[in-house]
Amino acid sequence: MKTALPLSLEDFLAALPGNYTNADRVLVQRAYRLAERVHNGQKRASGDPYINHCLAVASALAGLHMPADVVAAGLLHDTVEDTSITLDDLRRDFGDAIAKLVDGVTKLTQLPRVSRGEHQEELQNNVSLAGIIEQAEDEQSRRTRKRTLAIETLRKTFLAMGDDVRVVLIKLADRLHNMHTLGFFPEQKRRRIAQETLDIFAPLANRLGIWQIKWELEDLAFRYVNPEKYKEIAEQLAERLELREQQIQQIVEQFKRVLAEHGIQAEIYGRPKHIYSIYKKMTEKGKSFEMVRDVRGVRLLVPDVPACYAALGVIHTRWRPIPNEFDDYIAVPKDNFYQSLHTAVIYDDGKPVEVQIRTPEMDESAEMGIAAHWRYKEGGQRDKYDERISWLRKLMEWRQDIDDAQEFVDSMKTDVFQDRVYVFTPRGDIIDLPAGSTPIDFAYHVHTDIGNRCRGAKINGKLIPLEHELHTGDQVEILTAKHGGPSRDWLNPSLGLVRTQRARSKIRAWFKKQDREQNLAQGKALFEHEIQRLGLSEFDEKALEEIGRSLDYRSLDDIYVAIGSSDLSVGRLINKLLETKETDDILVVVPSTSAPPSTGSVTVLGLKDILTNSARCCNPTPGDDIIGYITRGRGATIHRQDCPNILRIRDRERLVKVSWGEHVHTYPVPISISAYDRQGLMSDITSLLNTESVNILDANVRVSKNLADLRLVIEVMDIAQLSRILARIENLPNVLEAQRLRGG
């Protein structure tokens, strides 16, 4: 594939904005010389010298009339990440402002990378079936991780908009040149990057009002996302190019003549056809290319706002306007500050012509968006910049609290990049919402508390259902309750009550807050009940917190909340607790294994062939923390670490460290069962124990006032089996409680 000719330094310097001072030009040249030196020998995927990419990014920024320090940062944007240059070096040589910009761009992209070459080599070296399966699973994990990292990068990009929008402009310029050279990458990577550009970066440029970058990103990305349709539309456009240009020229001359007759001077030119915009019109309106291609477009630039409306009146008088095709974005600008009059008329040949009418200032703002702020020096037309930055920060404000990167990006795609509707509060304030929003979305946009207490709504004074879709111009009044909160039904997508991610996040946050205290208490009670039921000693909170962190829970309370909400199994937690307890100088922790532990006995650490026997006072079971006590003439007696008899021993020198053996063995454990007496109760318990292959060594049943108290001694292999048996017994009808008895 032939790459584009590299931009020369002379061409680049000649294209710098005319208002640059000599000092500005010297700064840019110094940045170029440093970038050229430190990137020397580095190549792009296209084979071009890396400095060409730096020049392309800087040229795009210069085309937006960005200040010299931003253009210099564009030249240096990859130096900290890809060369030996440090931020301190940049700060020393170029000042704090440029260093901060480069640091901002670096932070947006500084994420771990996976070497595809290394992975492929490993895959080729391992041809066994097991190896292939393992490598396939690793590949899936790698792809998931890369997608997570990519989403997190986008999240950081959005948040950076509220800090310094110039960082995002550099990022957009970087993405623009990457899209121009995308053809040198493998197809799968091309499609992924192109789709990401269509979903995120082109809409981002649109929301910043930078039309010239937005449409270029769209066409470049569409070429790789849907190459067949791109080629089809491009070829059909090329076939009619000469005829279309002739028609546009005739329309332009006719418009000029008609407007001049009414004393209106206008600069008129045809609007270029963008392939992706044609494709969107075809898909959204269900039209074929034959129906779309004849829609001609012209743009009128007139001196001031009154002339915009005067020109509109003349055009509507001379040609018949098409119903529902008029939009006044001068009186009601778009939320990205775009202003223009849009209309469509039937021309003399019976075919439609789309018309945009605006002032030169509006046109520059539409093409360059927020970047138009830097077009002028101090004292120029900069009054709307603060409004734009305020809008960006407000846009980002509530998303700062979203921890999940995927949810964050989803919220941007639904709440920020969709088409908009403009509705009014009862006081006349304009509220900007995604198209398709409902009164509940409106309520949460106004204030979280109003959303939580929303119970109904009026549109233009009339009561409407909460699933009603809002339209531009609606006046919305929310009816609220004094107390209460949202309904869980609002989150049901089939009901269509909530359309924006912002409202969904606020509703989930409300329920999460309400449920947390209840789940916390319930989870703590369940955990303590299980500890007590198994007759375990008091647990180590620090060890439990460590386990929680390994499972991505930040605190002990979070662990209890997860148990209470059924996100975490109590049995799983206790098994992990037994696995990770630490030993101290005297007491030994029993390791938990997936295989049933047991032996012919217990291993005494440091001593061989010593006789051991279980203490009848506490009946230790695998899974318990145990300790050995050297007796006179009978070897070592094995006790649980919390056995009262052990705790009372004064002769600590006779205590020895012990651990469970490695051969299958069962251990007697006394349990207590409390239940309402009924026929067949003991039979059900016996049947359950048989299914677990558990023997009953002893049984004692007492019944008093219809309450049955059963004391059994059963043989189990470990704590995990005991926990499962007790839980199953408690699930039997009429059983109130089943727990392990402490002591004999």
Ramachandran angles phi, psi of 340, nearest 5°:
180, 160
The per-residue DSSP string of 278-345 comes to HHHHHHHHT--HHHHTT-EEEEEE-SSHHHHHHHHHHHHHHSEEPTT--EETTTS--TT----EEEEE
Q: Say how many Å lie between the first and final Cα of the chain, rounded.
A: 83
Both tokens of 299, joined, read: 């743009």
Tokens of 610: 């010593």
DSSP 8-state secondary structure symbol assigned to residue 540: -
From the number of C-beta atoms within 10 Å of its C-beta (0-12, 13-18, 19+), residue 89 rates as middle
Tell me how far apart the alpha carbons of residues 660 and 582 are, in angstroms, rounded to a whole number.
15
CB 31 within 8 A of CB 338: no
- Tracing tokens 């449409």 back to the chain, one arrives at 215
Query: For every residue of 665-704, which 3-state class applies, written as one string?
Result: CCEEEEEEEEEECCCCHHHHHHHHHHHCCCCEEEEEEEEE
Check if the beta carbon of residue 726 is closer than 8 Å to that of residue 629.
no
- Are 620 and 551 in contact by the 8 Å Cβ rule? The answer is no
Catalytic residue among 81, 96, 267, 348: 81
For the stretch 407-417, what's the b/e string if a residue is b when 16 or more beta carbons lie within 10 angstroms of its beta carbon? bbbbbbbbbbb
Q: Is 693 left (phi over 0), alpha (psi -120 to 50) or beta?
A: left
Q: Is 419 a catalytic residue?
A: no
Residue 242 falls in the annotated catalytic set:
no
What is the CA 336 to chain-centroid distance, rounded?
24
Which residue of the set 11, 82, 239, 517 is catalytic?
A: 82
Distance of CA 494 to the CA centre of its chain: 23
Asked if 199 and 276 count as a contact pair (C-beta separation under 8 A), the reply is no
Residues marked active site are found at 81-82
